[in-house]
Amino acid sequence: MPCLFVAGALVLPRLTILYLWLMTNWFVGVFGSLIWPILGFFVAPTTMLWYSVVENVYAGTWGTFQIVVMVIAVLIDISPSAKKKGKKSD
């Protein structure tokens, strides 16, 4: 059961991005080129979602709150890979 929870947590940001991309115009004009959303989808989905929230909701204004949440989003995105690297191999 915990494995299903972890798998769902890793997939949820990507499903959110996919839904927003197909059903809304949330990402229109946020990114300059198509490469950044594609990289964000595969490498850092939580960071990409927060960046688009700042651009759409906060009009691109980066204050202390936005930066703190961005750091948290980056930590969430890199945390699964950090656990793999720290694992001992027998």
Please indicate, yes or no, if residue 88 is contained in any of the structural domains: no
pLDDT at 69 over 60: yes
Please indicate, yes or no, if residue 89 is contained in any of the structural domains: no
Residues 60 and 56: their CA atoms lie apart, in Å, by: 7
pLDDT at residue 88, rounded to an integer: 59
Please indicate, yes or no, if residue 42 is contained in any of the structural domains: yes
Record the pTM: 0.79
More confident residue, 88 or 40: 40
Please indicate, yes or no, if residue 71 is contained in any of the structural domains: yes
Please indicate, yes or no, if residue 29 is contained in any of the structural domains: yes
Please indicate, yes or no, if residue 23 is contained in any of the structural domains: yes
**DSSP line for 23-89:** H--TTTTTSSSSHHHHHHHHT-HHHHHHHHHHHHTSTT---HHHHHHHHHHHHHHHHHHHHHHT---
Residue-wise pLDDT for 30-68, tens only, equals: 888 889 888 999 999 999 999 999 999 999 999 999 999
Mean pLDDT of 26-30: 86
Please indicate, yes or no, if residue 90 is contained in any of the structural domains: no
- Give the structural domain span for 26: 2-80
